[in-house]
Structures are given as structure tokens and as C-alpha cells.
Structure 1
Amino acid sequence: MAVAVAVAACPTAWPQLTTSETSTWDSVVWILIRRSLRVRCCLSANLGTGADHDMAVIANPVFELPEMLLRVKELEEQQLALRNSVICAFNQLLDLKDINTGVHSTRLAEWAIRVARKMNIPESHYYQVEVAALLHDVGKIGVPDSILKKNGPLTAEERSLINRHPEYSWSILRLFPGLEQASLYALHHHENIDGTGYPAGLKGTDIPLVSRIISVIDAYDAMVSNRCYRKGLPHTEAVSRLVRSSGTQFDAEVVQAFIPIAEQETADVFAAAGTSTAAAL
């Protein structure tokens, strides 16, 4: 959706404006338009000389600015609602593809926000964190079911194909305006801290922090979850493996930030079942 806005503010309309103030008005309009990452706006601003009247002209900016702000906000909200609907649809598609994947992704989205908060990631980034965690595996829709649900070891060719799913996730998410950062987080969620991961072989802090978070919580959830070909590990064993692989596969700081969250999650599950973590493990 494109919105074309022309602004004409001649000296007769605003005789009290100085050159500096007209420049400020120009900046205000640019900021207004550029605030929306989801609405493509073309601004034709000609302060003090005439304007192209083929587009909608704001005759009196003093009184029309609130209305323009409201309209841009409405367009932003419509685009956000549409994008969120598509995101939910993709998550439902993952459920249809593999019931464990959809539930797994929803759980990871919640955990990712909690870890992000503990690691002091700004709240303004939480939406990108949540979307990346929710749809990090959306690329698996490009992997045949015969491989995803195979009851047995994968061949080298099958492993190579399934290892492409982060790239597939990136290629899908990057098409959403405003989700470019989330697409990069999803792309790198299988990188290892020592550089042995995929798809780019990034190492250490070259791996985005959110990708490192998703890597840890993804691995933990995979370990404790039951699969058709194996039973899930106990919580204590899964945590032990995270710790042992800190500094090689996982970011040690992320692991330490996540462990208390995993402990609380496990305690909540057993409390709901009427028993205790200690008694069950």
C-alpha cells in the first residue's frame, strides 16, 4: 500500500515561520512518514514555493497534521494486524506439518522473551525476538515429511536437506516488511559458538544474541520432548548437556540465563500434576 502526501506551506499560510522553523516542519513530516515501516509513503514537500497539486495537498498543516497522524497510525495498525494474522497462519501450518513443531515454537517464543529480558535486550526488540522464536522452524515446510518424521538415522543427503531449513526460514520471513531482523535471527539459530554450526559457520559474538538464545532454548526443548523414535530426557540431564556444551555449541551466558527459567518451568509442570520436581526426577 502506498500513500502519497504533498505538503504545501507557503509564507502566506505560515507568515510567522522562520527559515529554521520551516526546516523543522519539513523534518517533522519526514519523521511522521518514516515512522511506519509498513506503509510506503512518497513525500513531496515544497515549503515556500508551490507544490504539485495532483496529489492531496494539506492546505492548513496546523489543523490537518493530527488527522494525517491518525490516518498513518490506522494504516500501521492495519498492516500490523495483517502481518500478525499471517504469522499465526504460518504457526498453524507448522502444526499441520508436524504437531510437535507448532507447539514447540509457541513454547520457545515465550521462553525467548523471558531470556531476552534477563539479558537486558531492549523491550523495543521483543517483537522481533518473539517472531524469530515462533517461526524459526517455518523453513521446515520445505523439508519432506519422510525426512522430518523418519524413525531412524538420517542419511548424509537427508541431513544436508534438513540443515537447509534455517535458510528456508530466512527466505520466507525476509519477505515480511519489518521482519528483516527476525529473519536473520532465524537464519543463524543453528550456528555454534565455536564456529562449527550452520549455515554460515559464524563464531562467538558474530552470531546474533537472539540466535544464540534460540539455539539454547531450542536444544533444551528438543531434548526434553518425546519423539516418535525416542523418549525425552529428564530435565536434569538436559540442563547438564547444555552446561557441558557451553563454550562450544552454546553461549555460556545464555545457558546460565535460561537454566532458572527451565527450572521454574519444570516446577510449574509438576506442581500442576500434583507432585514435585525432586520426586519425579
Structure 2
Amino acid sequence: MGTNISAARPVSYFPVPPVMIFPEVLGEFSVYLWQGGDFVLYTASGQKFTTRHRQVLHKNGIKEIYIQGAEKPQYEKYIERNLGKILQDENLPIEARTKIFYEAANVVMQNVFDRKLPSALRARHFDRIADVVKNSIKFLAADNSLSSVAPFISHDYKTYTHCMQVFIYSVALFQTYEMNDHEVFEFGLGALLHDVGKAKIPKRILNKRGPLTQAEREIIKEHPVHGVSMCAHLPMTQNTINCILFHHETMDGKGYPSGIKGDNVPMPVRIITLADIYDALTTNRPYAEAMQPYEALSLIRNEMRENVDMKVFKRFVAILSGADMI
């Protein structure tokens, strides 16, 4: 099996950690190994990747497998369908589930840096943000607290990826302020979990294509309180709780659930709120197509300036422009 379909059409491959291919789950993509200077087919599309397949990789010290670039959408759908239930599988050691969660988060993080952020930011931010992701997941793995997140991922994977994207934008912004590493961790964890309460919102509402009724909007507005309740058993600081509870508060006091405004909205919450709005506008949603970054920023500046902290907005624009603010 060579690397080319034809001389005129080279095939691209991307590496995947073996831990991300779940035993006994049918994959709609082929898995390749790099051997002898070439890509060699290991399991074909439609073939189950068995425990035996993984044992052979482990025995031979293989740390990376490869998937064709053309099949990356199928791989991402496979992660979407299976990640939540894998994280809830108590037959798997917590260490294995923690590693799977980190690697899945890394896929989302790679996509954000590749598709939504200027390339200059990768060198400055990627490793630092990856460290915050790793520390957050270690925290959630303590006392088997992944059980708080796994149902959320199973319930609505797109909301989980939205949380990851908001987390990345937020941490990039946190690092332009005078915050120590522990504060960045606390606030970053809040960004990562800000929408976890949507696990309590019916899918028919989350995925509704038309406008919501007033009753449905009131149900949606309950998710920050649900989120705090779902995380009540975690040893979170008030800083983290504030990020989950207040991320829909606005500078003009017209947000929810408390209607606080201005300086009463903590600065890290203002950052997460802006990142939340921007990511929602630039991502395909059931009721609206994604805007281009310039369109989204123009909308925020022209129509939402009373809702968001415009000083934070200016910093965010600088980050998206690739300005070195660290």
C-alpha cells in the first residue's frame, strides 16, 4: 500500500494516538501504519478495531497510527458518536479514560488553531493552552469526576466542542492579563464547563432549527444554574463557579440568571462571555449559518457594544489579528 492513489493525486495522512481507536467499535475509515518508508494498511474501513489489534500495536511500541486526510470527517464523526460512552465505561481504568479525553480535546484544539486562529499564535499559545487543558482534565479525573462531563458529551457533542473552542479563546485572552497560572486554571476550567448544564436541556430545544418559543427560551436560561448544580460535588473555587453561573450576564444588566451588570460582572466572566458569543456566531448552528470572523466582530462592535466589555473586545480583535500582546 503506497502513499499515492496516483502520481497526480497524492494522499495526505494525519497521525492519531492508538488510544483514540476504541476496541470493538466499527470505524468508517481505514487505519494505516508507517513502516519501511511507506503507509501500510492495518485495518480497513468497515472493519472493527479489536483489542487484539491494540495489543499488537502496544507490543511493537507503535505510538502513532494514521488516517487518510480525506477520511478525517468520518474519524471526527466516530469520535463524536463514541467519546461520551467510552468516558462512562467503568470497565476502562480512569487513567485510560483520562488519556482518551485529553487526546479528544487535543483534536478540537488542533482544529481551532488550524482553522480559526492566525498561525502566528500557535508558537505563542498552543503549548500553554495544552497545559491548561491537561491540568483541567486531570482535575476532572480525580475521584472519577469525568462522570460529570461524560453525559454532557454524550448528550450534545457539538456543545462540548463549543465549550472547548470558548475555552481556547478565553485562555488566550486570560494570558494577556496579569493572571497567575492557578488563576488561569480556575477561570479556564470555568470556560471549559460553562455550558455543561445544557446536558439537562432537551435535545429538541438545543437542536431546534426555527426560533424558540418564550417557554423554550426560559428553559434554555436554566442551564447556568443546572451547570453549577451538576458540578456541586467537585472541589471548585468560587472563581470557577462564577464563570459557569454568570457567563450569560451582560454589561448592561440584561443578562441572566441574576441580571448583574458593569463592574459586578467579574473580568474573567466578561472574557468568557465574549468568547462564547464570538464562537457561536462563527460556528454553524441549527438556526443560523456560521458568519465570517469579520462579520461576527462587526456585529458585536455595532450591535452588542452595550452587552460586552469593549476593552476586552479590543484585546480579542488584537489576538485574532495575530498581535503579540504577551
CA offset at residue 118 of structure 1? 1.0
Q: Given the alignment of the two structures, is residue 196 of structure 1 paired with residue 248 of structure 2, yes or no?
A: no
State whether residues 133 and 186 of structure 1, in contact with CA within 8 Å, keep that contact through their aligned partners in structure 2.
yes
Matches for 1:1-281 after TM superposition, within 5 Å: 81=139, 83=141, 86=144, 88-245=146-303, 247-264=305-322
Distance in structure 1 (CA, Å) of the matches to 2:192 and 2:150: 11
Please say which structure displays the higher CA radius of gyration. 1
List gaps (5 residues or longer) in structure 1. 1-76, 266-281
Length-normalised TM-score, structure 1: 0.61
Distance 1:130 1:86 in 2: 20
1:133 offset after TM fit, Å? 0.5
Structure 1 residue 197 displacement after superposition:
0.6
Answer yes or no: is the 8 Å Cα contact 1:246–1:252 preserved in 2: no
What is the deviation of 1:181?
2.3
Task: Please state how far the C-alpha of 1:195 moved relative to its aligned partner.
Answer: 0.7
CA displacement, residues 163-209 of structure 1 (integer Å, 9 cap, x when unaligned): 11011112223431133321121100000101111111011110111
TM-score if structure 2 supplies the norm length? Answer: 0.53
Pairwise CA RMSD of aligned residues?
2.3
Partner of 2:12: none
Report if the CA contact (8 A) 1:174-1:180 is conserved: no
Identity of aligned residues (%): 30
Contact kept in structure 2, 1:119 and 1:257, CA below 8 Å: no
Query: How far does residue 92 in structure 1 lie from its aligned partner after superposition?
Result: 4.0
- What CA distance in whole angstroms lies between the structure 2 residues aligned with 1:127 and 1:218? 18
Question: Contact 1:169/1:186 (CA < 8 Å) preserved in 2?
Answer: yes
- Residues 250-275 of structure 1 show CA distances to partners (whole Å, capped at 9, x for unaligned) of 0111111111233449xxxxxxxxxx
**Per the alignment, do residues 222 and 81 of structure 1 end up closer, same or farther by CA in structure 2, a change over 3 Å counting?**
closer
For 1:48, the equivalent position in structure 2 comes to none
For the residue of structure 2 that corresponds to 1:118, the secondary structure is coil
